Structure 1
Amino acid sequence: MTAQSAQRWGSTLDSVVVYAQGAVCRRLARGSAAPDGRVRVTGLPRSLDPGSLRARVLSAPGVRVTEARVEVEAEPRGTGTPDESRREFERLSDEYAAAQGHRDRQLSLIEEVRALHPVAPARRREDPYRSTPVDAWLELADFVDERLTGLRNRLAEAEEALRNVEHDLTVAADRLDRATTDAPSAHVETEVCAVLVLDGTGDAEVELELEYGVPGAVWVPAYRLAYRQGDGSGRLVLRASVAQRTGEDWTGVRIALATADLRRRTDLPRLRSIRIGRSQPVPTPSGWREPPAGLVDLFSGYDAAGPGPATTAAPAPSAAPVAVGAGFASAGAAGGSASGPVPPPPPPLPGYGGPSAPQGFGPAPEVFGGGTPALAPPAGVPQGRRPRTGSRSFAGAPAAMAPAASDRSAPPPPPAPAAGPPQPSGAELDYAALVLCGPDEQGGRRGRLFPDSPFDPVAAEYRRRAEAVAALSLPGQAVRPRESAGSFDHRFDATARADIPSDGTWHTVTVGEIPVGLRTEYLCVPSVEQTVFATLVLSNATDQALLAGPVEVTVDDDFLLTAALPTLAPGGVRRVGLGPAEGIRVTRRTNLHESTSGLRNNTTVLDHRVHVELANRLARPVTVEVRERVPVTSEPDVRIEERADWTAPDEGTGPDRHAPGTRVWRRDLPAGATAAFDGGYEIRIPTGKALAGGNRRS
């Protein structure tokens, strides 16, 4: 199908789903198809994955897509096409090269002038001594000094100009590197098209939807939290930092963010049954047929005509075997040339080759280049179960022939694979992508169909530049969604359309508002630090998880700080620290009294007393949680008796898990009020369990 035989439809990018790495784009196209149903949809990016293209019909009942593939069109760019960034970079590159050459010329001139020095003429033995011309020496020294002074001044000017041009070139290179990759290249304009074949179009207008995957897109979550003191709820706005270099600008598209891995497998595993016996299930027919017998005879006249004109291609090895049916005919084993007449093939193996195989030729030894030589079945073997054997050539002998019995050094023949019909791969069954190899192909490829999969260096370069986005440094306190999502995947749909250029830098997109429950609590651990810290207790009442990321906290319309929000599962409750609360004071005093008890004073009693005072200097009531610790023991003889009104908290999980022996006081303090807590515990240690010289007071 050529570009003239298919109608060209334009397309618009409608929505994008950004995954943990990579994205899936959705385009819409509309038009009336030709009677043959062939359509070319333009506007696709250069970095798309050709195997991810999907197409379906939206608004025409009875119309379906029967074929979809990707093609690339290239044509020279016009002279009037604007490309200011690249043109400026090339101009500065030329100026830099010229300035560097001018500087190098000045350096070479300085070295030449510096090398000037007087040389006295050679004196013969019989010649008398001559007087030194001092004036000439001084004139030469003055000339060298004057010349070097001027050259050094020019060198300083050249180096200054070189530094200026180098700075401008660095700025232009950075601007070109950060520019959007949606612009075409410097000299060739490429256009990626989706070639579709529609069935049942008629005269109706058809609307198509195209989906394809592209690399080079990443995102990380970010939040903005606004609340007022005293309220039980707040506004948590989910935002996302998105960076993409897919080769197309996302302008006015619907954005969705997903935590899943785009490259993971989605096909379901298939468990096959194990059967014992001769009766086996019939394999599903694939539509593949073996190449016809005697295919090599088609090129006998071409080979007999002699070598063609010399080309730049590397010649094939003279001893390379050419596959012919069940055996090989070595083109150079007997001293002949590859372009000369092909010698007759060896006779067929006993029991192989039926009467329908002329001159002992069996079926073709390769199945679209990916299979193994298939021989005619022996007597008694059903037609549907052909044995297959590998092909290997040594010393120009037929691969299917066994070595002579007297040749003890010859390697044994390779083991034959399991009997059965050849199994072509999926690429070999894509008949529209198969290419017929010409007569110049070697190694049994000529005259046969092979998958056409040439390496596209331009597309590989686009994908390499796109995948470099994954190495971007993350914003402060940001966490990649694949790390914070855990074992589950989530998707967040933005409420409004957004614009994200293909420049490989972070852009902020507002996703939506999430209702959360909020309450402010104050926490202090005076045994570690006598400071009260303010915390926000967040409760997630939605059915979606909140991923870890930075959160900008705003209290009463005043920005407070940027904190790290942990991952909050649906229905979960977590704390977010807001820093020290200067309006609440805490003081802690301890007292230790050591004594003995028991009939023989054989038990040491360590009486610990703790006194904690709180003072609320804020203009509103607060809830303060004071945490203390009590020693824990694994010895049954050592007893710990508590004397306080504190309580043991729940164990918790993850970061909220409390250490063993933690005790908690909770108190509601009105504005300007104070409170005191008294607690303590006794440690009773038998004399036999006491540590000699140990510190028992802490």
Structure 2
Amino acid sequence: MRAERARSWGSTLDAVVVYAQGALCRRLARGSVPPDGRVRVTGLPRSLDHGSLRARVVDGSGVRVTEARVEIEAEPIGPGTPDELQREVERLHDECAAARGRRDRHLSRIEEIRALHPVPPPRKRDDPHRSTPVDAWLELADFVDERLTGLHTRLVELEEALRQVEHELAVAEDRLARASTDTPPAHVRTTVCAVLSLDGTGDVEVELEYGVPGAVWVPTYRLTHRQGDGSGRLVLRASVAQRTGEDWSGVRIALATADLRRRTDLPKLRSMRIGRRQPAPTPSGWREPPVGLADLFTGYDAAGPRPATTTPSAAAGPGAAPVAGGGFPPGPVPPPPPLPQAYGGLPALPVPGGTAGASPEVFGGARPDVAQPVMARPGRARTGGRPLPAAPAGMAPAAPAAMAPAAPGRAAPPPQPPAPAPAPVAGPPQPSGAELDYAALVLSGPDEQGGRRGRLFPDSPSDPVAAEYRRRAEAVAALPLPGHAVRPRESAGSFDHRFDATARADIPSDGTWHTVTVTEIAVGLRTEYLCVPSVEQTVYATLVLTNATDQALLAGPVEVTVDDDFLLTAALPTLAPGGVRRVGLGPAESIRVTRRTNLHESTSGLRNNITVLDHRVHVELANRLARPVTVEVRERVPVTSEPDVRIEERADWTAPEDGAGPEHHAPGTRVWRVDLPAGGTAALDGGYEIRIPAGKALVGGNRRS
């Protein structure tokens, strides 16, 4: 018992990096290395990607990790840890059914009382009519009315009680649906652990890194500004939702815009040929087996057999049926049949519909009904990338029709002669498509059979329980986004950014949005007032943001607070490092603008063959604020591409420089910048003349716009 406890280490989730979809978690475990060097680190989530597990020693001199693999265990939950939410829902279901039954019985009683009415006795044909005393009718009516009054009063109480219970049941069901997936859903707890092999002695601290699906995030901002101040506080926050199966409690959060599932293998460069077209050569994927591969496991075999394990994960195979809670039924599973050897000791992998066995062949011939092997290079236990479905090892073909038993009462069909073996194909072995996907191949360990260990094979199918966990986790990608929110993969463009939170955070695994404060970003702020009186005679207040950091600000909603008063929630566009953008704050009612225009048409030239359109613009501004402001007034003059048509401007406005401001301007834009003192006014006069030759002038039409 003491040795078993020393072999199992607990772990603590320390840091999480949330990507555009999915997350990369880091756990820390500390303990003393046992004599056999094998430890079991518990606490891993059920939805983790087994191929993403990495382990390293962060504190321990001379100790290194030589092996890391994932194992799954199932154990019953003790009576001291009941599922309170599930029991509450079941109790309220029973209470709701009882309240509904009481209400229904009371309704039936009301119908019985309502059906009471006087029934005269049957009268024979010769009997005279008899009179009924009125007092009896009235007494029966009073009795029915009194009983119905009491019953209806009681019915109101029963319906109110039923409505209350139904409300409590709806709340409990909603809490159960939103509950953290970190709690086990059944009476069997399924735990995932990492089995490590350590080389060395002493106390060490081990870091485990693994990827999980079911985590998304979007950026949000809070902007605080004081009028008259040239700076402000922009706080970057993040709305994070995760359903990974474990609660993130007190972890360091980092947010990245990269795609965690994007493959990072190098592209294949195809050669370019000049001349007659030739078919692209198909890679063989086969090479000679390394010399001395079997000798690498001599020391491992000399150490003796490993102790037998009774965990459900060791007994579970690809075809094992899961039990409640994600476990597997106990009992050993027979090992797969030994694989035949072909091509000088290389394993021949079976494929669906093919032949499980193969006889040795000489190099230069290949069996088309046998998938060819892919040799392994000693090194990593698994390459990254997406796994592809492949046939399990040891798959045998279906029984031929000649071996089917005869039906009763019918003569057995004559035995069919065996089909002739196909002729060997000349050339080197040709692996299947699954075996050529090198990123999905798994290196068999030393515990595999002699024909498999040390070689690469397609990954075996994952168990359906883990697939169901991953399906539930990936459902958070379909959550509706908050207002003005944009997914980071869309707003980041072709660049990837990472933002580290300054404080630890708590995010439960409930699949709902949680807001986390990331960091404070230094931005330059200035207030500008903008108006385009030719379109609308209203002055708008704007904030001009300057990104003074070396990271981009992603698009998302920003809550603007001016002078400690919440103003509005606006949409912040993506702001590159050093970029400038304008955020609108709405109309400024304290600044008024008025615009008047005048058009005078005349002719000029020796023969009056030039039409002159003289446009005059008069703009008046009034500042009713208690502080000076700067107002930018925008006008627009016509732009022509005809050399004979001339436009002469008569105003002190200026043309904005493209790229110098926070936005691009349309051709012909002109700008006035006016400094208004507190309570002051200003008048602006401008205009332009359009000189059009008589041959290009239009007769009639609107010449004022």
* TM-score (structure 1 length as normaliser): 0.73
- The residue identity in structure 2 corresponding to 1:401 is A
The answer to which of 687-696 and 619-628 deviates more is 687-696
> What is the SS of the residue equivalent to 1:618?
coil
Moved more, 385-394 or 461-470: 385-394
**Could you tell me which amino acid in structure 2 is paired with residue 183 of structure 1?**
T
Selected match of 1:269 from 267, 270, 283: 267
Q: What is the identity, as a one-letter code, of the residue corresponding to 1:242?
A: V
CA distance in 2, matches of 1:51, 1:66: 16
Whether the 8 Å CA contact 1:254–1:496 is kept in 2: the answer is yes
**Which of 340, 351, 367 is the aligned partner of 1:387?**
367
User: Distance between the aligned counterparts of 1:417 and 1:400, measured in 2?
Assistant: 24
Query: Share of identical aligned residues, percent?
Result: 72
Counterpart for residue 484 of structure 1:
491
Q: Does structure 1 residue 643 correspond to structure 2 residue 650?
A: yes
Structure 2 residue aligned with 1:249: 247
- What is the match of residue 81 of structure 1? 81
Report 1:207-226 matches (<5 A): 207-226=205-224
Amino acid at match of 1:231: D
1:25-64 pair list within 5 angstroms:
25-64=25-64
Partners of 1:400 and 1:434 lie apart in 2 by 37
Shift of the 120–522 alpha-carbon distance from structure 1 to 2, 3 Å rule, reads: closer
Supply the AA of the counterpart residue of 1:616: N
The corresponding residue for 1:320 is: none
Amino acid aligned to 1:697: R
Secondary structure of the residue that 2:59 maps to in structure 1? coil
User: What corresponds to 2:419 in structure 1?
Assistant: 401
Q: Map of 1:659-678 to 2, 5 A cutoff?
A: 659-678=666-685
Name stretches of at least 5 consecutive residues in structure 2 with no aligned partner: 273-277, 295-320, 322-336, 371-396, 403-414, 450-456
For residue 456 of structure 1, the aligned residue among 453, 464, 476 is 464
1:659-698 CA distance string (max 9 Å, x none)? 2221111233344443322211122334443445422222
> AA paired with 2:479?
L
Q: In the alignment, what sits opposite 1:410?
A: none
Tell whether 2:84 aligns with 1:71.
no
Contact 2:242-2:476 at 8 Å conserved across structures? yes
Shift in Å, 1:105: 5.4
Structure 1 residue 493 and structure 2 residue 500: aligned?
yes
Q: Are 2:284 and 2:431, in contact at CA under 8 Å, matched by a contact in 1? A: no
Aligned mates of 1:608, 1:279 — CA distance in 2: 75
Q: How many corresponding residue pairs?
A: 600
Please state whether the residue corresponding to 1:260 is helix, strand or coil: coil
- Taking structure 1 as reference, are residues 532 and 11 closer, same or farther at Cα in structure 2, changes over 3 Å only? same
Q: Are residues 692 and 73 of structure 1, via their aligned partners in 2, closer, same or farther at CA, if it must alter by over 3 Å?
A: same
Letter in 1 for 2:651: A
Counterpart selection for 1:506 from 497, 510, 513: 513
Q: Which amino acid aligns with 1:213?
A: G
1:306 aligned residue:
none
Q: Distance in 1 between matches of 2:659 and 2:348?
A: 65
The 2-side partners of 1:450 and 1:565 are apart by: 47
Aligned partner of 2:257 among 237, 254, 259: 259
2:674 partner SS:
strand
CA contact (8 A) 1:16 1:253 kept: yes
**C-alpha contact 2:653 2:671 (8 A) present in aligned 1:** yes
Please report how far the alpha carbon of residue 172 of structure 1 lies from its aligned counterpart in structure 2 after TM superposition.
Answer: 1.0
Q: Relative to 1, partners in 2 of residues 1:421 and 1:486: Cα closer, same or farther, differing over 3 Å?
A: closer
In 2, the alpha carbon distance for the partners of 1:477 and 1:602 equals: 57
Give the aligned partner of residue 629 of structure 2: 622
Secondary structure of residue in 2 paired with 1:596: strand
State the SS of the aligned residue for 1:656: coil
1:632 lines up with 2:639 in the alignment: yes
- What secondary structure, in the 3-state scheme, does the structure 2 residue paired with 1:91 have? helix
1:579 alignment counterpart? 586
1: CA distance, partners of 2:248 / 2:282:
58
Corresponding position of 1:431 = 444
Shift of 1:608: 0.7
Hey, what does 1:283 align to over in structure 2?
A: 286
After superposition, residues 226-237 of structure 1 pair within 5 angstroms as: 226-237=224-235
Say whether the 8 Å CA contact 1:392–1:399 is kept in structure 2. no
User: Cα–Cα, structure 1 residues 496 and 371, in superposed 2: closer, same or farther, change >3 Å?
Assistant: farther
Do the aligned residues in 2 keep the contact of 1:540 with 1:569 (CA within 8 Å)?
Answer: yes
Q: What does residue 525 of structure 1 align with?
A: 532
Deviations 1:136-162 (A, max 9, x none): x999x9899999988877766554433
Within 2, Cα distance between the matches of 1:523 and 1:279? 65
Q: Which amino acid aligns with 1:420?
A: P
Contact 2:582 2:662 (8 Å CA) reproduced: no
Kindly provide the CA deviation profile for residues 313-365 of structure 1, in whole angstroms up to 9, marking residues without a partner as x.
xxxxxxxxxxx99xxxxxxxxxxxxxxxxxxxxxxxxxxx9xx99xxxxx999
In structure 1, the residue matched to 2:95 is 95
- Cross-structure match for 2:665: 658
1:442 maps to which residue? none
The residue type equivalent to 2:43 in the other structure is G
Partner of 1:367: 349
Give 1:625 shift. 1.4
Equivalent AA in structure 1 for residue 703 of structure 2: R
Q: Deviations over 1:228-259 (max 9, x none)?
A: 44433333222222222322222221111111
Shift of 1:635: 4.0
- Partner letter of residue 367 of structure 1? L
Contact 1:366 1:372 (8 Å CA) reproduced: no
CA distance in 1, matches of 2:517, 2:285: 56
Distance 1:130 1:481, change over 3 A: farther
C-alpha contact (below 8 Å) 2:366/2:424 kept by paired residues? no
Query: Aligned with 2:682: secondary structure?
Result: strand
* RMSD between aligned residues: 4.8
Whether the aligned pair in 1 keeps the contact of 2:528 and 2:632 (CA below 8 Å) is yes
- Once residues 417 and 93 of structure 1 are traced to their aligned partners in structure 2, the CA distance between those partners, rounded to angstroms, is 71
Aligned AA (1:584): I
Between the aligned partners of 2:35 and 2:364, the Cα distance in structure 1 is: 41
Query: Contact (CA 8 Å) 1:387, 1:421: kept in 2 or not?
Result: no
Q: 1:117 to 1:279 in 2, by over 3 A?
A: closer
Alignment of 1:534-613 (within 5 A): 534-613=541-620
Displacement of 1:493 in angstroms is 0.7
Q: 2: distance between equivalents of 1:402 and 1:579?
A: 85
Residues 48, 91 of structure 1: CA spacing in aligned structure 2 closer, same or farther, 3 A cutoff? same
Following TM superposition, by how much is the alpha carbon of 1:395 offset from its aligned partner in structure 2, in angstroms? Answer: 5.5
CA deviation after TM superposition for structure 1 residue 596, in Å? 2.5
Alignment map for 1:348-367 (pairs within 5 Å):
367=349
The alpha carbon displacement at 1:10 in A equals: 0.3
The separation in 1 between residues aligned to 2:601 and 2:511, in whole angstroms, is 68
Q: Give the gaps of 5 or more residues in structure 1.
A: 290-311, 313-323, 326-352, 358-362, 404-412, 437-448
CA offset digits 1:488-542 (Å, max 9, x no partner): 1110111222222223333332222222222222211111122222222221121
**Aligned CA distance change for structure 1 residues 168 and 399 (closer, same or farther; 3 Å):** farther
Q: Write the distance in 2 (CA, Å) between the matches of 1:172 and 1:87.
A: 10
Q: How big is the shift at 1:82?
A: 4.8
Task: State the TM-score, normalizing by the size of structure 2.
Answer: 0.72
- The letter for the 2-side match of 1:388 is P
Q: Specify the SS of the correspondent of 2:366.
A: coil
